[in-house]
Homo-oligomer: A and B are copies of this chain.
Amino acid sequence: MKIVCLGSGNVATHLAKAIKESGGDLIQIWSKTLANAQALASVLNSRPVDDIKDIDRDADLYLICVKDDAIETVAAQLTGVKGLVVHTSGATAIEILERVGLSNYGVMYPLQTFSKSRNLDFKQVPLCLEAGSEGALQQLHAIAARLSSLVYEVSSDDRKLLHLAAVFACNFTNHLYHLSAKILQQNQLHFDMLKPLIIETAAKVQTALPESVQTGPAVRNDELTMNKHLELLKNMPELADIYETLSNSIKKTYL
């Protein structure tokens, strides 16, 4: 199976590596910045291209891993190719691919947070599939099954909701980690001390619903402790605001 990867960011990097490891033939990596295409291609023993006109038109699969606002432009230049054209975005509907004139298309959204510097087991990455036809869906299932053990069929509407939920569970969570690190750093305390707590908090909800394991002053309605905390944050008004917003939301949930 001949595959072209369009993009060289975090998703492209992890997806291309997983394809290579699963035995796929990654014939080209395209990026509008040649150096980026080269960097990824060299690791994966693939061929870098920066002119979209140089893309092989006979590949079996084209994976679009570019920023959401560039998907349409890139996809429009792939009309008439032989293979299946797939985008990987959580927030973008499948219609965008039909609209540009593609006939064989789909979506494969990996529901995970990717950083180039970090390896992960792609077999454990949930892949959310959608396709423009039954035939394309079958092709996509065959591809996804080689990459991951966690394959779901998800409509564009549901994918957008998953993407939104992921912002709460991942992006906002990581920002809370950052804010906790900031509180510690300003007082010469080491973020290392919080690491076991962070892992255990995530591990707990693998087997229990989050609402059944909520702890802390807000769920106990412990006003004394919450007031002490707000006092500690009096020189960090932004953190105090977040503290109050989230504590009020917890209090309301468990009222």
- Determine the distance from Cα of A210 to Cα of B158 in the docked complex, in whole angstroms: 28
Contact (Cβ within 8 A) A195 B205? yes
Q: Which residues of B contact A252 (CB under 8 A)?
A: 238
- Determine the distance from Cα of A164 to Cα of B152 in the docked complex, in whole angstroms: 39
Q: Which residue of B lies closest to A248 (CB)?
A: B238
Verify if A53 is at the interface (C-beta below 8 Å from B).
no
Contact (Cβ within 8 A) B217 A169? no
Verify if A73 is at the interface (C-beta below 8 Å from B).
no
* Minimum distance in angstroms from A171 CB to a CB of chain B: 3
* Minimum distance in angstroms from A111 CB to a CB of chain B: 6
Q: Which residues of A from 170 to 224 have beta carbons under 8 Å from B?
A: 170-181, 183-184, 187, 189, 191, 193-211, 213-220, 222, 224
* Minimum distance in angstroms from A123 CB to a CB of chain B: 10
- Determine the distance from Cα of A252 to Cα of B59 in the docked complex, in whole angstroms: 43
Verify if A113 is at the interface (C-beta below 8 Å from B).
yes
Verify if A24 is at the interface (C-beta below 8 Å from B).
no
* Minimum distance in angstroms from A19 CB to a CB of chain B: 19
Contact (Cβ within 8 A) B210 A177? yes
Contact (Cβ within 8 A) A214 B171? yes
Verify if A120 is at the interface (C-beta below 8 Å from B).
yes
Q: Which residues of B contact A67 (CB under 8 A)?
A: 220
- Determine the distance from Cα of A189 to Cα of B126 in the docked complex, in whole angstroms: 13
Q: Which residues of B contact A218 (CB under 8 A)?
A: 171, 175
With A178-B210, A222-B68, A232-B164 as given contacts, are A113 and B171 in contact (CB-CB < 8 Å)?
A: no
Contact (Cβ within 8 A) A174 B242? no
Contact (Cβ within 8 A) A165 B152? no
Contact (Cβ within 8 A) B183 A232? no
* Minimum distance in angstroms from A68 CB to a CB of chain B: 6
14 CB-based A-B contacts, threshold 8 Å = A69-B222, A158-B187, A158-B189, A162-B184, A168-B179, A169-B177, A169-B180, A169-B194, A170-B215, A171-B250, A174-B210, A174-B213, A179-B249, A245-B245
A residues near B (Cβ < 8 Å) are 10, 67-69, 91, 111-115, 117-118, 120, 124-126, 128, 150, 152, 158, 160-181, 183-184, 187, 189, 191, 193-211, 213-220, 222, 224-225, 228-229, 232-233, 238-239, 241-243, 245-246, 249-250, 252-253
